[in-house]
Structure 1
Amino acid sequence: MFTPVSVAIGLRYLRAKRRNGFISFISLASILGIALGVAVLITTMAVMSGFQKEIRDRLLQFAAHATVIADGVPLQDWRHALDVAARDPRVAGAAPYIETEALLSGPRRQPAMVRGVEPGLEENVSVLAQKMTRGSADSLAAGGFNILLGQELALWLGVDVGDTVLVMLPEFQGSPVGAMPRVKRFTVSGIFSAGHNEVDRGLALVEMTDLQRVLRMDGVTGVRLKLHDMNRSFEVARDLALQLPGFYRVSDWTQENANLYHSLKMEKTVMGILLSLIILMGAFTLVNSQVMLVTDKQADIAILRTLGLTPGGVMQVFMVQGTLIGIIGTVLGFVGGVALTWNLERILDGIEALFDITLLPEDVYYITGLPTDMQTGDVVTTLVIALLMSFLATLYPAWRASRTPPAEALRYE
C-alpha cells in the first residue's frame, strides 16, 4: 500500500533507536504524562458524575420530577389531573400533595416542611415505604393524626416513635387573647431515612386529609409527577397544565434544587479544567522531546531537503512522529482510565483492608463508597482534549525543523 514519504519517515523515527538516549526517555515521559492525565481525568469525571447521580437519586426519592401547582388557590379537581397524567405515556406515576412550612415542637423545636400525602398514591412518586427505619408508612391513616419524621429531624426534636409533637402552622385563628397560630398535636408513628440531609432534616409527612382539616383547606397544593425520563420533566408538566382548566405554575426538580444542581455541575466543570492541566504538562514534555529530536536530526533534515523534500514535507515528518506519540499516550490513558474506573471500588476496599482503616465511615458520610458513572460524553471530551493538545504541541518543533537551512546543518558533518 502506498504511504507518503513524510508519513513513512515519521513512523520510522518513532520506532528507530536514538543516538541520544535522553531524547527517548523524554518521549517516553511524554507518553506516560499524557496517559496519566487522560486516565486521571476519565476516572475523576466518572466519580464526579457518580456522586451527582447518587445525590440526585437520593433527593428524588422524596422529591417529584415535576409539579403542577394551582396558581394562588388550592387545586380542587385533582382527581381529574391524575386521570390526565395517567393517560400520558411519559408519566410513570402521579399523586396529590399539600405542603406548608411549620414549626415542630417536642423537647426541642425545629422548623420543617410538612407535606400531606395520600398513602395509597404516594408510592407512585416516592419510595417512602422502602426508606422507613422505624414504624410504618401504613400508619398514615385518615383521622389518626400521625406523622412521619426524617431521621435527622427526629434527632433534632428529641423524639422517637410513640412520642407526640406539636405542629405550629403559619395560619392564625382568633382567640380571647388575640390571633394565635394554628397548633395541632401529632403522634410520631414512623421515622424514615432518605440518605440526603436536606430531606432527613427538613421534611415531615402526614396524611393529606388530616392536614386539610388542620388548614381548613378544600383542595390540594398540586400534583407531583414521576416520569420515565426526568430530563423531560418541565416539558411533561407544562403539557399536563395546558390540559387543565385554569392557571397553573409548573416547576421541575432542576428548578426546585437549582443551587445544588448548579453547584454540582460547576464543581465537575472546574475539576475537569484543573485536571486537564496534567494533560497539558504531558503536552509540554512532548514539545521538549520534539525540539530535542529536531536538534538531533539536523543532518537528516538537511539530507532530506537536498533530496527534494519540501519544507512542508519536513514539517509533516515531525508532526506525524509527535502526533503518534500523543495518540499512543491517549490510547494508553483511555484503557487505564476505564480499567481504573471499573475497579475503583475494589481498590478502595483493598486500601481499607491493607491499612485497617475506613475511608468513608457510615456515621460520618451519607455515601460510604465511591459511586462511578462513566458517561460517553465525558470520555470523548477527554480524548479530544488530549489529542488536540498533542497535535498543537507538535506544531512549533515541526515548523522549526522545516526552517532548517541544509547548508548550515551539513557544514560540520
Structure 2
Amino acid sequence: MSIVKNLPFEWLVGLRYTRAGKRSGRNSFISFISLISMAGIGLGTAALIVVLSVMNGFEKEVTTRMLSVLAHVEVFDLRGAMPDWEQRARQAAANPQVRAAAPFVETEGMLIRDDILRPSVVRGVLPSAEKNVSEVGERMREGSLDTLKPGQFNVVLGAELARALKVKVGQTVTLARAQAPGAGGAMQPRVRSLTVSGIFEVGHNQFDSGLAFINISDAEQLAGVAAPSGLRLRLADMQRAPEVARQLKQSMPGDLFMRDWTSANSTWFAAVKSQKNMMFIILTMIIAVAAFNLVATLVMTVTDKQADIAILRTLGASPASIMKIFMIQGGLTGVLGTGFGIALGSVLALNVHIIVPFIEGLFGMHFLSKDIYLISSVPSDLRLSDVTRIGVISVLLAFVATIYPSWRGARVKPAQALRYE
C-alpha cells in the first residue's frame, strides 16, 4: 500500500480513472467500454497466439514426417549413375556433420492390382544402409525392410497405397514402367510382378500413398541401369543441410549435384511461411481494432473529466502531466488486456490436442482431411519468441491508441472547463 502512495500523482490519478466509477452511471459506462476494449485486446492476442502455435505445430509435424523418409542431403552424379558410390560415401563421411550414407535408385511406374492402377515412386534401397538414413524401418506396420532380398523382387508399400490397391503381405502387384520406343515409335510398357513383403506408415499421405521400396539390385534391373543413382545422407543437424551441401560440393571431386531437404521441398515451405505471415498480419489487425477502441474510451473519459483536468491544471499540473495520466490509463488497459490474452492463448495452445477432439466429437465434424492437409490431427507448437513478439506489438498498439486522447486532454483550458461548474 505504501508503494502505491509513493507513486507520482500522474500514476495515482491514472490508476483511479482505470477503476470503475461509483459516483455516476456515466463513469460506470466509460469503465464498461474500457473493459470491453481490454477484453478485445486479450481475445485478439489469444487468437493470434493459438493460430501461430497451430501453424508452427503443423509445419513441425509435417517436416518431421517428411524427414522420416527423405534424406537430409542427396548426392547425384550428373553422368546419370554412381558406380563408385562406396568411395563417394567415404568422401562424404569426411564431413563431421555426415552420420550415414546409403545408395539408392529411384524410378517411377504404375502399380497394378486387378483393375486398380496407382502411380508410384519406386525407390531401390540397400536395406542394411537405408536404416541409417531414414526411419522407414521403424515405421513398418507389417514385415520389414530386411525382406527386400536381391533377386526376389519383393516390395514394401505405403499403407495408403496398399489400401488403395487392396493388397496384403504375401500378395502380388504388377509394376508397369514406360520403356524406350519400340518398332513404329510406340512406347512399350515394361511389366514386372512384385510380391508385397511389408507395409509401412510414416503418417505423411504423400509417401504413404505413393512410395514403394524394393531392393537396389532389383531396381537397377528394372530401371535398366548398372549402378545407383546417387547417395542419401543423414546429418547430425538437419538444420545445417544447406550449409553441408555447399561444403560437400566443394570437398567432393567430380561433377556432382547436391540437393538438401529444404530445396527439395522449397515450394511447400515457402507456402507455409507465406500463410504464417498473412495470418499474423490479419490477426494483428484484429488486435489493432480492439486497441483503437481505447481511443473512444479515452475521448469519453477526457470529456467527462474536464473539470478534474482544470482543477489539476490550476493546482500546477503541466500539460505533459495531464497527457501522462491518460496515457497511463490507456496503457494499463492495454497491458492488462495483453496479459489476459497471453495467458488465455498459451493455455489454449498447450491444450489444443484436448480441445479440438472435444469440439470435433461435440459437433460430429473433422477439421483436417488427411488427403488435403497430409495429417489428420491438429498439432500445436507454442514458441516463446512468438508470444514475446505478439505481446510487444499488442502493448505498442495500445499505447499508440492513447496518444490522440491524451493530447486532447492536455489541451483542455481550465477557464472554459470550469465555466459551467
- State the TM-score, normalizing by the size of structure 1: 0.90
Partner of 1:272 in structure 2? 280
Shifted more, 365-374 versus 377-386: the winner is 365-374
Does residue 392 (structure 1) correspond to residue 392 (structure 2)? The answer is no
| 192-201 vs 8-17, greater mean Cα deviation | 8-17
Number of aligned residues: 412
What amino acid sits opposite 2:17 in the alignment? Y
In the TM superposition, residue 294 of structure 1 has moved relative to its aligned partner by: 0.7
Question: Using the alignment, how far apart are the partners of 2:189 and 2:246 within structure 1?
Answer: 36
Q: 1:64: how far off?
A: 1.6
TM-score w.r.t. the length of structure 2 is: 0.89
Number of the residue aligned with 2:68: 61
- Equivalent residue, structure 2, for 1:330: 338
2:413 equivalent to 1:405: yes
Q: CA shift at 1:225, angstroms?
A: 2.1
Q: Does 1:10 align with 2:14?
A: yes
Structure 2: distance between partners of 1:199 and 1:341: 29
Q: Cα deviation per residue 1:44-94 (whole Å; 9 max; x = unaligned)? A: 211111112111111221112221212243122221232233343323432
Partner Cα separation in structure 1 for residue 54 and residue 191 of structure 2: 46
Shift of 1:298: 0.5
Q: Distance in 2 between matches of 1:226 and 1:282?
A: 48
Distance, in Å, in 2 between the alignment partners of 1:349 and 1:116 is: 39
Contact 1:68–1:241 (CA under 8 A) maintained in structure 2: no
**What root-mean-square deviation, in Å, do the aligned CA atoms of Structure 1 and Structure 2 show?**
2.7
**1:178–1:337 Cα change, 3 Å:** closer
The CA deviation at 1:260 is 2.1
CA distance 1:27–1:238, change in 2 (3 Å): same
Alignment of 1:109-120 (within 5 A): 109-120=117-128
For residues 300-311 of structure 1, the aligned pairs below 5 Å read 300-311=308-319
**SS of the residue aligned with 1:340?**
helix
Identify unmatched segments of 5+ residues in structure 1: none
Distance 2:93 2:384 in 1: 33
Q: Which residue of 2 aligns with 1:229?
A: 237
Q: Which residue of 2 aligns with 1:152?
A: 160
CA shift digits 1:174-209 (9 cap, x unpaired): 679987344333222222222222112221111111
More moved, 88-97 vs 195-204 = 88-97
**Partners of 1:160 and 1:188 within 8 A in 2:** yes
1:70 to 77, 82, 87: 77
CA distance in structure 1 between the aligned counterparts of 2:79 and 2:10, rounded to whole angstroms: 74
Tell me: CA distance 1:360–1:409, structure 2 relative to 1, closer, same or farther (3 Å).
closer
Provide the rounded CA distance (Å) in 1 between the counterparts of 2:64 and 2:356: 23
> What code does the residue aligned with 1:28 have?
L
Q: How far did residue 95 of structure 1 move?
A: 1.6
* CA–CA separation in structure 2 for the residues paired with 1:165 and 1:346: 41
Corresponding position of 2:355 = 347
Give, in angstroms, the shift of residue 21 of structure 1: 0.7
| Match in the other structure for 2:106 | 99
Contact 2:206/2:374 (<8 A) preserved: no
CA distance in 2, matches of 1:290, 1:186: 76
- Unpaired segments ≥5 residues, structure 2: none
SS at structure 2 position matched to 1:123: helix
- Contact 1:132/1:191, CA 8 A, preserved across alignment: yes
C-alpha distance in 1 between matches for 2:301 and 2:187: 87
Residue 296 of structure 2: aligned partner: 288
Task: Name the residue aligned to 1:133.
Answer: 141
Deviates further, 129-138 or 244-253:
129-138
